[in-house]
Amino acid sequence: MSQANRSLVTIDDLSNREIEALFCLADEMSGSMSDQSGLCQGKIMASLFFEPSTRTRLSFEAAMLRLGGQVISAADMGATSLAKGESIADMARVVGSYADIIVIRHPWEGAARVVADYAGVPVINAGDGSHEHPTQTLCDLYTITKERQTIRGLKIALCGDLKYGRTIHSLTYALARLGAARIYFFSGPGVEMPAHVLGKLTQDYGGKLIKGPGDDTQSLAETLGGQSVDAIYVTPTDSHQLALMPGVQIKVDIRDGAIYVTRLQKERVGDTGPGAASKKDYPVIDARLLRRKGLERTLVMHPLPRIDELAYEIDADPRSMYFEQAARGVPVRMALIALLLGAKELIIPQEEDSLVQKLDYHVYEGDPGVKCANRLCVSNQETEARYIKPKFKIVSLDPLTLRCIYCEHELHPQYIASSDWHEGKLENKKYHSAESHWIRKIKPENLIIFDSENEAQARGFKPSKYVTVDR
Ligand code: NCD
């Protein structure tokens, strides 16, 4: 499939093969940065950054200029019509008529998806709230592959704010898909990896999650400063039989892998949110830590900006990769823009990604039923709720699990009914527990899902005898 006219909203919008081929193109471009100015001549990129940015914005703009294109920009939401109550769909339509490609950073989760749905031109997500930041992940993966030739089989520790860090979420999905052997989650207190990210990891990529493994992760915990590891994700390529056998010691070793650390996302945590008060227990990477046995070759990575979690004293250490990650942003984004604008094409044989199951989830349109519970989801914003219909992928029936198509948070609604209830008889208009056998009996196209019993009753449904289920 050609990459032209596609959008990059989540890292899953690129296949494994496409990511690898994009890196070859980035290699080619980085070898001759000033010879690329014919590729996107006459094209315009709109750069919409409604949250602070240095690296991402400037590297996108530098990339477009290097490709011979032009840039128009809006950096302050307060100076756009969004401040007058305009919806992002209307903004997307308008900007899409001025530019050939849009790069957007926005505080609402799922905002980039909405822009991509309405702009009519390719859209690149440069960070949407805590959801995803796929191009940072491309820079991260590119850096790891430059240093280690492959992602496959590596063991990587993700440290810091795993809850709100969007770079962490995109990177975790990509590492799982590209066959990193194990991913260790080592969070700051109160900012552990969210349930919906863990859910997607196991549901979509098929690996195993070992939670709260206690002694098993002691060696990593010791290596990384004595705190406990929250969980380990073991990807399907790794032989995890041993890891899953109770009482068997996991040999934790990130010697050839990487430690990826992030700052506490204080703009999302706030002054009182989880993690705000516990600065002293936040993971810190410093010279003392890097002297520990087992980290002699380990790459130290960070998306930047840093606060206190990454000491300046290790900047000159050959293991420190964070300025490389930033510098590689320009050729990586040049390659991406050139592909989405159709100035270059990657010829990829029929997708052979064995790791990514072809996921064909049924999409449930919840109007007027269930709503996404994430208050930062774009679908819950006043200006957007006028036209966005909540939509969910049904990712599991046992238990019933809906994934919001905008922010990807998960819901587990309790009550269901069939729209095909009547057969002419009002007494058949019944709702049931989502845990009952009805969840498999009702055809997906007839399924109605309720947030609560009250809602089911308000819509004229009566409880069936399957409204409570003993499990
Ligand atoms: C990151 C972001 O914006 O999510 N920055 C970046 O793009 N390199 C990380 C962060 O702000 O902590």
- Ligand 1 centre from 277 Cα, in Å? 21
Q: What does the pLDDT read at residue 248?
A: 39
Peptide bond into 305 cis (omega under 30): yes
Note whether 141 and 253 are within 8 A (CB).
no
Residue nearest to atom 11 of ligand 1 (CA): 305
Given this structure, which CATH class describes domain 135-321? alpha beta
* Strand-strand pairing, 231-234 and 208-211: antiparallel
* CATH architecture under which domain 362-463 falls: Roll (2.30)
CA-based nearest residue to 45, from 346, 335, 341: 341
pTM for the full predicted model: 0.93
Q: What does the pLDDT read at residue 217?
A: 46
Q: Which residues contact 388 (CB under 8 A, 6 or more apart)?
A: 89, 114, 378, 379, 406
Residue 402: phi and psi, rounded to 5, are -110, 135
Q: From the centroid of its chain, how far is CA 277? A: 26
- Ligand 1 centre from 136 Cα, in Å? 8
Task: Transcribe 221-234 into DSSP letters.
Answer: HHHTTSPPP-EEEE
* Structure letter (DSSP) for residue 8: B
Q: What does the pLDDT read at residue 262?
A: 95
- Ligand 1 centre from 118 Cα, in Å? 25
In testing the pocket of ligand 1, which one of 54, 56, 161 has its CB within 8 Å of the most ligand atoms?
A: 56
Q: What burial letters (b/e) apply to 313-349, b meaning 16+ CB within 10 Å?
A: ebeeeebbbbebbbebbbbbbbbbbbbbbbbbebebe
Strand order in the sheet with 258-261: 208-211, 231-234, 182-187, 155-160, 258-261, 299-301
- Which atom of ligand 1 is found nearest the CA of 167? 4
Q: Residue 103 forms beta bridges with which residues? A: 47, 124
Q: What does the pLDDT read at residue 351?
A: 57
Note whether 231 and 209 are within 8 A (CB).
yes
- Which atom of ligand 1 is found nearest the CA of 304? 8
CA gap 70, 85 in Å, rounded: 28
Neighbours of 275 (CB within 10 A): 24
Q: What does the pLDDT read at residue 238?
A: 64
Q: What does the pLDDT read at residue 311?
A: 96
Q: What does the pLDDT read at residue 77?
A: 82
Look-up of token digits 């290596």? 223
- Ligand 1 centre from 167 Cα, in Å? 7
> Taking each helix axis from N to C terminus, what angle separates 134-148 and 55-66, rounded to the nearest 10 degrees?
80
Q: What does the pLDDT read at residue 424?
A: 63
In testing the pocket of ligand 1, which one of 58, 130, 136 has its CB within 8 Å of the most ligand atoms?
A: 136
Note whether 173 and 180 are within 8 A (CB).
no
Q: What burial letters (b/e) apply to 89-98, b meaning 16+ CB within 10 Å?
A: bebbeebbee
Q: Which residues form ligand 1's pocket by a CB distance below 6 Å?
A: 55-56, 127, 133, 136, 166-167, 262-263, 303-305
Answer yes or no: same fold for 11-129+327-340 and 362-463: no
Q: What does the pLDDT read at residue 358?
A: 61
Domain boundaries, the chain: 11-129+327-340, 135-321, 362-463
The fold of the 11-129+327-340 domain, in CATH, is Rossmann fold (3.40.50)
- Ligand 1 centre from 419 Cα, in Å? 45
pLDDT in tens for each of the 471 residues of the chain? 788 999 999 999 999 999 999 999 999 999 999 999 999 999 999 999 999 999 999 999 999 999 999 999 998 888 788 888 999 999 999 999 999 999 999 999 999 999 999 999 999 999 999 999 999 999 999 999 999 999 999 999 999 999 999 999 999 999 999 999 889 998 888 999 999 999 999 999 988 888 765 544 455 555 565 556 677 788 776 655 444 444 434 455 688 889 999 999 989 887 766 666 667 778 899 999 899 888 899 999 999 999 999 999 999 999 999 999 999 999 999 999 999 999 999 888 765 554 454 678 999 997 677 999 999 999 999 999 999 999 999 999 999 999 999 999 999 999 999 988 766 677 789 999 999 999 999 999 999 999 899 999 999 999 999 998 755
- Ligand 1 centre from 373 Cα, in Å? 25
Q: Largest alpha-carbon pair distance within the chain?
A: 76
